[in-house]
Amino acid sequence: MLRILSLFFLISFFSVGQEGTLIGKVSDESGAPLIGASVIYKGDITIGATTDLEGNYKLKLPVGKVRLICRFTDKITDTFNVVIPNNGFIEHDIVLKSYEEVRELEEVQIRVGKFDKKPEDITVSLEVIKPKLIEDKNTRSVETILDQTPGLNIMDGEPQIRGGSGFTFGVGSKVAVIVDDMPLLSGDAGRPEWSFIPVENIKQIEVVKGAGSVLAGSSALSGAIHIRTKYPSTTPKTKINVYSGLYSFPRDTSQIWQDRPSMINGMNFLHSRKIKNWDIVIGGNLNYDEGYIGPPRQDAFIEQSYPDTVSNFSNEQMRSRRARLNFNIRHRSKKYRGLSYGVNGNGMISQSPMIFAWLNDTSGLFQGYPGAVFLHEQTIANIDPFIHFDQETGASHKLRGRLLYTDNNITANQSNNSVLYYGDYQFKRSYKNLADLEFVGGISSSFTDSYAELYAGSGTPDNTLLNVSGYGQIEKKMWEIVNVSLGGRMEYYALNDTVTAIKPIFRAGGNIKLHQETYLRMSYGQGYRFPTITERFIQTGIGNFGVFPNPDLQPETSSNSEVGIKQGVKVGPVYGYLDIAGFWQEYENTIEYLFGFWDPNSPTGAGFKFLNTGRSRVLGIDLSFSGKVRFNKKNEMTFITGYNYILPKTLNPDLIYAYDSNPVEAQGYSFNNTSLNPDGNILKYRFLHNVKADLAYTFDDKFSIGATVKYFSKMENLDLVIEKFEETTEIINTIQNIQYMDYFEENNNGTWIIDARVNYTLNKKHKFALIAANLLNNMYSLRPLKMEAPRSVMFQYSLTIEHKK
Amino acid sequence: MEKIIIAFYLITFALGGFAQQQIENGDFEAWENQGTAEEEPVDWSSLKTADALASTAPSVLSPDTGRNGGTCARLEVKEVPLVGIKANGLLTNGRVHADFNPENGYVFTDPNDPQWHTAFTSRPDSIIGWYKYEPQNGDKGKIEVVLHVSQGSLPFNGTENNMIGRAKFEFTTQQTSWTRFSKEFNYYDPQAPEYILTTIASGDSTISETGSTLWIDDISLVYNTSNIDENNTELTSINASSGELRFFNSNGLSDQNYTVTNIAGQLIQQGECKENVLFTQPSGLYLITITDGLNQFTKKVYVH
């Protein structure tokens, strides 16, 4: 009773305070509203507001003269005074100018896990890729730009954060890929659909390293990639980007397989505008890429007896073609302030080769291996309806849906088809009467309906996977210098109505401001990944080997702990943030793809299968230093540098995690006997040292030159079976020789790769660029049996038309 | 007094109703599909033309330099490292059925397809031939010939009752130079066979050792026959006893030579056929081949 009374008095105390209301609009120099700008009362920084979709803010403040600040991404923070009348309104509009004069350290506004945050409030390790860099590098598919993020490697399309995963041909990604807060992994295989992401309309990419958010879904075992698309500003904008280029011949001329260099041509476009209360964005991309890997070439000796009927492709058939069209349509309600709704959509048709292995390690590094190349025709489309409602109370409701249709028509009977339905309701509110406790929570569900003979390992080609999740996360800022967040998520899975699982996961994080521009952060997060339909049920035979189902595959789990410190640095003209993080990741039931004699009653007997391989641990450090060097108003250099060291080890090297069905003697499989180099217990397919850096120098706002440097240290360990493949194919003269070990032993010494670019901005309309990837034309391989691209040089012309009102 | 001399004439069958057929391409001089994975001696088959797993089977057969400078068949046991399964060096005049489990593998006569069977109606006395052998870890190879009717298989897999006769010779010791072997047939049924199924292996069935290599050449069937009108050598009779060999031919012994080999195929003695030839070998079974340059006739003689 006493507590109730106390609470009553407390409420009364707050309610009798004298206050008034400040309203206004925040816009840029052109008059465009700035959405999400912060207006903060300096007398008590816990009192603040964020501008809505029209740039409006509303703030209750104590009566009298108050001092406020307004800040926004890449804009000069404005400080101003107003006098608040008792129980009255006062209006104050703010125009924020561009960032050029600012001397205060700022990063772009970051929204991690669906929060709007300042970087000093972030409790996880995060890398941000800005749209300028995406454009400057003529990014045609988003994974190519992601690959330069420190601690994130893309191994033949498969994302690998801090060594948290090996290589499984992209199936069952341990990294969540989230576009506009909704997952974009194929429903059946859990594979990122990189080329489907509308790269011409990206507002920002955020890479969260480690299982750092319950909002990203529990399957983000080692991290999440958040991609956010743009909505239009008040100025209508049309942008057309045309590019043309070619791949160089490989440096080793004995590897040249074609008559002329392969070409790359394409264009993308974007038109965005507001029409009254409508926000409309239309974009698209056409891409033609002749590729740098030639078709398989069968040994004449083998061809006489066993002609290749699987991959006997011409140069023409190996070319990639893609057409994509996407749109975002949003309507902001006039009748109901804060209500907006709309639909986003994207559709793509494409054809491309899927290349699993090179021809040989002598003169066939850039050609395919017979039977290991497939042609892939894909039709993929999504339609995303949504409703957002931001109440004046500060509460925010978001209801989003996605229908993702994927039809993969692949040669050699590898076709598959799936529809993914996704729905998410999210509620977010800041509770002032709970000392500004911020809550975000919701419920989301996805249902995948897959049809593929390829997945008939379940007994039927028709498989379904249901996932229902409930999640909640609270954040609390205390004493102005401490930010704490706690979250939980409950996952429920039902596979074909026969296999069900329920699992809670938790996370916690904190950030302490130790000193001016010095932030210490801590984070702990759990992950839980239910095996995909592909991993459990794939059943096929390709050439001489099979792929076998494993219906008993268990979910894999992870935990990620890390401590990091971010330090602002200002030395002369150099401004930046130095970030150091140490992390500790633990994985259980890790799912890997292993070769064995799994079914002697099948036509192929031996082949690959997804297996749980036990426990592992990845320790490491992340170092990054990013910022700018401002020489004067028109000349500056931006830099993003990072170094990542990991120590990925198995915790049970001798554990026999599976026995096969070898008819002579069942073979037990362990880390030790499946590893090429089990010494040190280092996990397979990991680079222990990784350096990524990007430098861009701008002269007089017209010219800019930039370079990206990437370093991958040697691969310590890989599957022993690759060596056995080589030995076996030497003995069996009707299987074309698989040759890798000589290349591996000679070239596994670490790789430096340099990209470079030159941009010239003629005026606001016209921009030209010359972009080279792999400038030194290094011949290198990141995953066994696959070469990365030789040098490519691209010319790019961009036309930007801003339709002034 | 002197030991009793027993003139041991081999049992002479009434062979007039049976032809004297030979093993086809027993000298392995003719090869087909040369330069391809399916290169094999004509009328012979190995793993690369098996009815299953042919594309993933190692090539255990290859041509090599023969005994007389021509070609012979070389068979080697090979292991597939990827799965740790060994493939025996097999050659047959039937067909190979390969299986992931070597215990389920066999060679067989396919009566319905002339490509995979060898019709045969004779009743030979012995199988002879020449070989070299490099066994690994005590491995042993073999040549096994089954004369049968209807279905035939090695291992028998239930076809034992179809067997008319059988000869089996095992290669057990290393032979770095060409060595002759011979083995008589045992007959289990008086009727004429329909097929001959021959298996030559460089290793011991399912326990073969990787690397065991067998070279084989000039295999042929030997007949004891009474067809005296056609072959003067067959008129020569042999009396053998401990101490001497006696050759007799009412038409004379001019231009006739003999060779004596033991049951392991090793040449013991050779020379011109005479009425009395010194023979000092211990008692046992010997093969005596008489040739006049045109004809050849072999007799099996037991010397007491």
Strands A545-548 and A607-612: parallel
Each residue of A390-443: pLDDT tens digit?
A: 887 878 999 999 999 999 999 988 999 999 999 999 999 888 778 778 899 999
Q: Of A305, A662, A733, which is closest to B83 when you measure between CB atoms?
A: A662
The ranges assigned to domains in chain A are: 18-101, 119-802
**What's the one-letter identity of residue A632?**
N
Residue of A nearest to B38 (CA): A305
Each residue of A105-118: pLDDT tens digit?
A: 333 333 333 334 56
Distance between B176 CA and the closest CA of chain A, angstroms: 24
Contacts of A725 in chain B (CB under 8 A): 82
The answer to whether B36 contacts A304, with C-beta atoms less than 8 Å apart, is yes
Each residue of B91-149: pLDDT tens digit?
A: 999 999 999 888 899 999 999 999 999 999 999 999 999 999 999 999 999 999 999 99
The answer to whether A544 contacts B58, with C-beta atoms less than 8 Å apart, is no
Q: Does A595 touch chain B (CB under 8 A)?
A: yes
Residue of A nearest to B206 (CA): A664
| Nearest-angstrom CA–CA distance, A397 and A441 | 10
Q: Which long-range contacts (CB under 8 A, 24 or more apart) does A165-170 make?
A: A165/A221, A165/A222, A166/A592, A166/A683, A166/A684, A166/A685, A166/A686, A167/A593, A167/A684, A167/A685, A167/A783, A168/A591, A168/A592, A168/A593, A168/A610, A169/A356, A169/A593
On the question of a common fold for A18-101 and A119-802, the answer reads no
Residue A49: what pLDDT? Answer: 86
CATH architecture for segment(s) B232-303? Sandwich (2.60)
Owner of token pair 């001497």? B244
pLDDT reading at A104 higher than 70 = no
The ranges assigned to domains in chain B are: 19-222, 232-303
Distance between B235 CA and the closest CA of chain A, angstroms: 51
Question: Residue B150 phi/psi, 5° resolution?
Answer: 55, -135
The answer to whether B36 contacts A301, with C-beta atoms less than 8 Å apart, is yes
Among A732, A733, A740, A741, the residue to mutate for chain B (most B Cβ within 10 A): A732
Residue of B nearest to A303 (CA): B36
The answer to whether A662 contacts B37, with C-beta atoms less than 8 Å apart, is no
Each residue of A129-181: pLDDT tens digit?
A: 888 888 888 888 888 889 888 889 998 889 999 998 888 888 999 999 998 88
- Enumerate residues 6+ apart whose C-beta is below 8 A from A326: A198, A201, A281, A282, A283, A284, A344, A345, A346, A347
Strand order in the sheet with B175-184: B61-65, B71-76, B213-222, B126-134, B175-184
pLDDT reading at A16 higher than 70 = no
ipTM: 0.72
Residue B225: what pLDDT? Answer: 52
Residue A99: what pLDDT? Answer: 53
Residue A805: what pLDDT? Answer: 56
Given a contact cutoff of 8 angstroms between Cβ atoms, the answer to whether A418 and A501 are in contact is no
Residue A2: what pLDDT? Answer: 40
Distance between A673 CA and the closest CA of chain B, angstroms: 13
Q: What angle do CA A122, A483, A487 make, to 5 degrees?
A: 75
Each residue of A521-574: pLDDT tens digit?
A: 999 999 999 999 999 999 988 777 889 999 999 999 999 999 999 998 888 888
pLDDT reading at B5 higher than 50 = no
Q: Of B48, B55, B104, which is closest to A544 when you measure between CB atoms?
A: B55
Q: Does A304 touch chain B (CB under 8 A)?
A: yes
- Average predicted confidence (pLDDT) for chain A: 88
Contacts of B35 in chain A (CB under 8 A): 301, 304
Name the helix (H) or strand (E) containing A743: helix A741-747
| Nearest-angstrom CA–CA distance, A7 and A463 | 55
Among A548, A604, A720, A731, the residue to mutate for chain B (most B Cβ within 10 A): A731
CATH architecture for segment(s) B19-222? Sandwich (2.60)
The answer to whether B100 contacts A731, with C-beta atoms less than 8 Å apart, is no
Contacts of B32 in chain A (CB under 8 A): none
**What's the one-letter identity of residue A501?**
A
pLDDT reading at B69 higher than 90 = no
Contacts of A305 in chain B (CB under 8 A): 33, 36-38, 48, 55
Q: Does A568 touch chain B (CB under 8 A)?
A: no
Exposure on the CB side of residue A190, measured as CA atoms within 13 A: 22
Q: Does A754 touch chain B (CB under 8 A)?
A: no
Name the helix (H) or strand (E) containing A380: strand A373-390
Maximum distance among all Cα pairs of chain A, rounded to whole angstroms? 95
Q: Does A307 touch chain B (CB under 8 A)?
A: no
Contacts of B48 in chain A (CB under 8 A): 305, 734
What is the per-residue burial (b if ≥16 Cβ within 10 Å, else e) of A407-443?
Answer: bbebbbebbbbbbbebbbebebbbeeeeebebbbbbe
Percent of chain B whose predicted confidence (pLDDT) is above 90 = 57
| Nearest-angstrom CA–CA distance, B104 and B98 | 8
CA nearest to A537, candidates A448, A625, A600: A448
Residue of A nearest to B34 (CA): A301
Residue A5: what pLDDT? Answer: 37
Distance between A685 CA and the closest CA of chain B, angstroms: 20
Q: A18-101 belongs to which CATH class?
A: mainly beta
Owner of token pair 């420190």? A150
Given a contact cutoff of 8 angstroms between Cβ atoms, the answer to whether A406 and A418 are in contact is yes
Q: Does A721 touch chain B (CB under 8 A)?
A: yes
**What's the one-letter identity of residue A757?**
R
Distance between B40 CA and the closest CA of chain A, angstroms: 13
Q: Does A546 touch chain B (CB under 8 A)?
A: no
The answer to whether B100 contacts A597, with C-beta atoms less than 8 Å apart, is yes
Percent of chain A whose predicted confidence (pLDDT) is above 90 = 59
Distance between B201 CA and the closest CA of chain A, angstroms: 18
Contacts of B100 in chain A (CB under 8 A): 597, 600, 605, 663
The answer to whether A733 contacts B59, with C-beta atoms less than 8 Å apart, is yes
**In which band, very low, low, confident or very high, does the pLDDT at B2 lie, cut at 50, 70 and 90?**
very low
Each residue of B234-276: pLDDT tens digit?
A: 667 777 777 788 888 767 777 788 888 887 778 888 888 888 8
pLDDT reading at A683 higher than 50 = yes
Topology (CATH) of A119-802? Maltoporin; Chain A (2.40.170)
Residue B292: what pLDDT? Answer: 77
Instruction: Say which DSSP state A333 is in.
Output: -
| Nearest-angstrom CA–CA distance, A26 and A93 | 6
Most confidently predicted of A22-36, B4-18, B194-208: B194-208
The answer to whether A305 contacts B57, with C-beta atoms less than 8 Å apart, is no
Among B38, B51, B60, B100, the residue to mutate for chain A (most A Cβ within 10 A): B100
**Interface A:B, Cβ pairs < 8 A:** 74
Residue of A nearest to B35 (CA): A301
Q: Of A304, A306, A727, which is closest to B55 when you measure between CB atoms?
A: A306
The answer to whether A732 contacts B102, with C-beta atoms less than 8 Å apart, is no
On the question of a common fold for B19-222 and B232-303, the answer reads no
**In which band, very low, low, confident or very high, does the pLDDT at B10 lie, cut at 50, 70 and 90?**
very low
- Enumerate residues 6+ apart whose C-beta is below 8 A from B247: B236, B237, B238, B253, B256, B258, B273, B274, B275, B277, B290
Each residue of A325-360: pLDDT tens digit?
A: 999 999 988 888 889 999 999 999 999 999 999 999
The answer to whether A724 contacts B81, with C-beta atoms less than 8 Å apart, is yes
